[in-house]
Amino acid sequence: MSPPSKPSFDTAYNFAYLDEQTKRMIRRAILKAVATPGYQVPFASREMPMPYGWGTGGIQVTASVIGPDDVLKVIDQGSDDTTNAVSIRKFFVRTTGVETTEQTETATLIQTRHRIPETPLREGQILIYQVPIPEPLRFLEPRELETRRMHALEDYGLMHVKLYEDISRFGHIATTYAYPVRVDGRYVTDPSPTPKFDNPKMDNMPALQLFGAGREKRIYAIPPYTEVKSLDFDDHPFELPEWDTTCALCGADDTFLDEVILDDAGERMFVCSDTDYCARRRAPEAAE
């Protein structure tokens, strides 16, 4: 292996910021997570040069799996150009020199905060989620020791207590994000604060899905083509949210829409949350 004559990244840091031993440690946790779909693997999360809550878990996972040939896409709530996405993309450009893209199908690694791209993912891609609270049972059972035991014993009746409460208060399951799923018929898992609109996309996805929670020090995974089932009741089945309007920019009627407030008079519009998808629907040629 001949060293490149002039590295394309800031050599003051190791490739992808983390040192090689740390990356190995995280990769071992990832392997274990892939082998036990949906199970939260503890790992020795590192301090990153940004605060918790900015995606330190996802960044560590990305840093551990990224290689010089990867093409990286970073999104924040579906958007490629918001602060979180821009700063994480710049971080990896500086520490790895990899190529970046906004196109879902071109990317090999996609780090996301909350959304799954509208364009279906394919085999070979890796989707990395930034997770604030990995434990789906946390707000029902605050004791970590007890929740771990509940996972170990598949003791998941409590999860339905939460859904029951939703129906009794609101008449329907009002959980719209972080909607609990059962992975591969075994572990109940929190799909990060992803809107429940995206839950069906997780089911049997050809791409590998990795979840990193930096502050909580947990990694979990959904391997390709794994069954992901949203929990529900027989008489209150899982339902997708619906909008009574279409995207004001591209006219799509099958995407997740963001509400944008336009002025102080209450004017608003609904637009696709996936900016890449929306932009290319409007101008297929101009985008590339």
The answer to whether residue 57 is catalytic is: no
Catalytic residue, chosen from 57, 58, 214, 272, is 272
Q: Which residues of the shown chain bind another protein in the complex (CB under 8 A)?
A: 149, 153-155, 157-158, 160-162, 164-165, 167-169, 232-236
In this complex, which beta carbon is closest to another protein, that of residue 46 or of residue 236? 236
> Given 55, 57, 78, 278, which residue is catalytic?
278
User: In the numeric block, which tokens belong to residue 62?
Assistant: 């990305």
Nearest to another protein of 78, 180 (CB atom): 180
Nearer to another protein, 234 or 288 (CB): 234
Residue 272 annotated as catalytic: yes
Integer angstrom CA distances of residue 88 from 55, 91, 92, 107, 129: 8, 5, 6, 15, 13
CB of 167 to another protein, least distance (A): 6
Residue 78 annotated in active site: no
Is 266 an annotated catalytic residue? no
Q: Is 157 annotated in the active site?
A: no
Query: Given the complex with another protein, which of 163 and 202 has the nearer CB atom?
Result: 163
Active-site choice (58, 124, 250, 266): 250
Classify the phi-psi angles of 179: left when phi > 0, otherwise alpha if psi is within -120 to 50, otherwise beta: beta
3-class DSSP state of 276: helix
Which distant-in-sequence residues (6+ apart) come within 8 Å of 141 by Cβ? 147, 150, 158
Amino acid residing at 229: K
Q: Please state, in angstroms and rounded to a whole number, the distance separating the CA atoms of residues 179 and 177.
A: 5
Give the residue numbers annotated as catalytic, written as ranges.
Answer: 38, 247, 250, 272, 278
